[in-house]
Structure 1
């Protein structure tokens, strides 16, 4: 049977994707491993694989959003700077670096990721600082390099980042 016919054919007996996602994933994995390609739920498998890629991109954007949030707070409320902000920046820089190391294909979407991350960070910064939204530029004031390398000492005598 051709792949087109297999794709058009309804999934053979098993748990429906909509009824029990966990069991469906286990059944699909077992079918893949056994080579039972004809009974795979191809449409939902394709959607789930694409969703995994979106999830990795969203992980990168989320880490960058937190970095940018703390950078905005650091720059706009110097009197309230905390060690926690500096350590959060370091932690999320590490998280973002890990996502990029594990997913080099995301490099083509870095500009988009930075734009999305800043859009969220700007709103959160306004909410968390109680400063008017217009306080924060509408476009990201930081380069990607600055976001990833600007030093933020966690302690007064800390010169590393």
Structure 2
């Protein structure tokens, strides 16, 4: 039976959300496209849509977490600075910028995202550097603007880092 034929059946006759998520998504999208709104699994659809928004927020937090981790390592272990750290910083700046450009509604949650990212970045920095946790400030020492615009080059003549 095709997904469209399944979509024509009542919601209770379709694939259960918990039994086969992929098939459920295909049936739900076919029902939406067909305008068969009465057959939709509204509760689970609402949860999945909400989950998509959370995923975008988590993408921002993730990019900032890696960015902050490498900034902390860069600042607290100058003798161990690597080109990899500087490239990772630049990469995560771009990732965060893309997420924000694609999701302007996240602007109201930037402080929350930064706080979440820093909390974990601080712990990871202590673990990876083997420096005491107290070495790293409890609150983020960087502004969002500094995170996105501060230059990070190991060799002043290196324009690729």
TM-score (norm 1): 0.91
Distance 1:40 1:154 in 2: 56
Change (3 A) 1:111 1:160: farther
Q: Show the counterpart of 1:118.
A: 118
Q: Show the counterpart of 2:139.
A: 139
Q: Show the counterpart of 1:52.
A: 52
Note if contact 1:83-1:155 (Cα within 8 Å) is conserved in structure 2.
no
Note if contact 2:81-2:154 (Cα within 8 Å) is conserved in structure 1.
no
| Unaligned runs of at least 5 residues, structure 1 | 1-9
Note if contact 1:84-1:154 (Cα within 8 Å) is conserved in structure 2.
no
Aligned length: 152
TM-score (norm 2): 0.91
What pairs with 1:20-39 in structure 2 (closer than 5 Å)? 20-39=20-39
Deviation of the 1:153 alpha carbon: 1.6
Secondary structure of 1:158's aligned partner: coil
- Aligned alpha-carbon RMSD (Å): 1.4
Distance 1:132 1:153 in 2: 26
Q: Show the counterpart of 1:7.
A: none
Deviation of the 1:158 alpha carbon: 2.5
Note if contact 2:31-2:40 (Cα within 8 Å) is conserved in structure 1.
yes
| Unaligned runs of at least 5 residues, structure 2 | 1-9
Q: Show the counterpart of 2:18.
A: 18
Q: Show the counterpart of 1:5.
A: none
Deviation of the 1:90 alpha carbon: 0.5
| 1:130-152 deviations in Å (ceiling 9; x for gaps) | 11111101000111111111000
Distance 2:16 2:68 in 1: 42
Secondary structure of 1:153's aligned partner: coil
Distance 1:82 1:146 in 2: 20
Secondary structure of 1:137's aligned partner: coil
Q: Show the counterpart of 2:3.
A: none
Q: Does residue 87 of structure 2 align to residue 87 of structure 1? A: yes
Change (3 A) 1:137 1:33: same
